[in-house]
Structure 1
Amino acid sequence: MNIEELKLELKYTSRRGSLCYSVKDHNTLAVKAPHGTSMDYIREDISRNWDKVHKLFESYYLDSPVRGFADGIKLFLMGAEIILRYKTMDSIAFHFNPDENTLYIAKDLQNEVESLLKCFFSHKAEYLRVRCRYLAMQHNFRVNRINLRWVSSKWGSCSVKGNVTLSNYLIMAPKAIQDYIILHELCHLRHMNHSKDFYALLQKLDAQYKEHRAWLKDKGRALRIFHQK
């Protein structure tokens, strides 16, 4: 979402002070402003505080994911925005049109949207398994089994048996972030800790790993779009 797409629902109050913002729906911001506040001033204030406003919308989706899956909502696939749309479809539950960057879900299956989205993203997440094998071969790591799961507590893990587990949520992140997590777990095949040797190896394989780690810390929560169980 960007500021140009934002709809405003304005309510004037007799209270003096700063503007108050809350999320009305997936692209509408409710604004409480003192009487006499101009629309130009309100838009300037939103622009100045865009990071804060954007986090309000992130919290809106995360606190009630199903409510957030409204028609026209933007999701992420490989770091790119895709649009969720509901429409009447015969015989199929969902269809992704890459030319339009749009995921269509059958209108009569809206109540099952979360399970259908999981099905769609799980299918796309198979790429992570292929990518992990590729990076392991490229850097001479020996991987046993690669598991993909809807894990919200961590992005990946590695076992002493050489098994790597990756979160399906990673498929929503940019490719560089996916590679960072995969390489992080592959490095654990040689160093089952976070020692200096571990980070030296990770630095060698991903020179920007600190930036990628910071990206996940800042934006990763917004990728976990489903109810956490």
Structure 2
Amino acid sequence: MQIEIQRCNRKSVVITVNSKAEVIIKAPYNTTNAEIQEILQKRAKWIKDHVDKVKKEIERAKSVEPLSNEELSKLGDKAVEYIPKRVEYFAPKVGVQYGRITIRNQKSRWGSCSSKGNLNFNCLLMLTPPEIIDYVVVHELCHRKEMNHSFQFWALVEKVLPDYRERRKWLDENGGVIIGRME
């Protein structure tokens, strides 16, 4: 298993497995190689489980047709029409303001929220059921209050969407195949 280590200006170490089943570790500049090795040993099972999951998603994605540029463009147009309305609907329920909304074609994220309050959403959300789109919208809006995935963050999500765990599970189980349709 190949592991890429990226040293950057951050406060903690984060491990991710990307859509190609590659392991990426982002670590503060002052983190020693020994500390990184220790973290890798502690997180070995999590890493293996996630690499295996992504590899299965890659195999499942091979059975579906890749999206053409025209199809991606149409999904983008649909998302520009649909998603801002959902953001507008849920923002008062979460109790937040937001900045600009951008729709993108992304291979690794369904959405993101910047510290300035700008929201980004993946056009591939339009291939998911409406309740999944709503989950991603609420998730990103809750980051306006909590820029992390702490207990407090998930409590905010649950307050708006009591069944968020089922929605999140659906996305976890099916999202990889959808994202795998991007070439």
TM-score if structure 1 supplies the norm length?
Answer: 0.51
Quote the Cα distance in structure 1 between the aligned partners of 2:108 and 2:162. Answer: 25
**Higher Cα Rg: structure 1 or 2?**
1
Which amino acid in 1 is paired with 2:61? Answer: S
For 1:188, the equivalent position in structure 2 comes to: 143
Query: Deviations for 1:40-82, whole angstroms, at most 9, x for unmatched residues?
Result: xxxxxxxxxxxxxxx89833245x726xxxxxxxxxxxxxxxx
Distance in 1 of aligned mates of 2:93 and 2:162? 16
How many residues are treated as equivalent by the alignment? Answer: 125
Q: Secondary structure at the match of 1:152?
A: coil
**Using the alignment, how far apart are the partners of 1:183 and 1:152 within structure 2?**
20
Alignment partners' CA distance in 2, 1:182 and 1:147:
12
User: Which of 110, 133, 138 is 2:88 aligned to?
Assistant: 133
Would the aligned equivalents of 1:156 and 1:181 in 2 still touch at CA under 8 Å?
yes
- Alignment of 1:217 with 2:164, yes or no, is no
Amino acid in structure 2 at the alignment position of 1:221:
G
Of Structure 1 and Structure 2, the greater helix share is in 2
Q: Is the 8 A contact 2:138 2:160 kept in 1?
A: yes
Q: Paired residue for 1:65?
A: 66
Q: Is the 8 A contact 2:111 2:122 kept in 1?
A: yes
Give matches, 1:76-155, under 5 Å: 114-126=68-80, 127-155=82-110
Q: How many percent identity over aligned positions?
A: 34
State the secondary structure of the residue aligned to 1:198: helix
Distance 1:133 1:57, change over 3 A: same
Q: Which amino acid aligns with 1:65?
A: P
1:112-136 deviation digits (Å, cap 9, x = unpaired): xx11111211111111122112211
> Which sections of structure 1, spanning at least 5 residues, go unmatched?
1-54, 67-113
Instruction: Assess if the C-alpha contact under 8 Å between 2:94 and 2:141 holds in 1.
Output: no
8 Å CA contact 2:135, 2:164 repeated in 1: yes
Q: Which ranges in structure 2 are unaligned for 5 or more consecutive residues?
A: 1-56
Paired residues of 1:177 and 1:212 also in contact (CA < 8 A)? yes
Contact 1:133–1:143 (CA under 8 A) maintained in structure 2: no
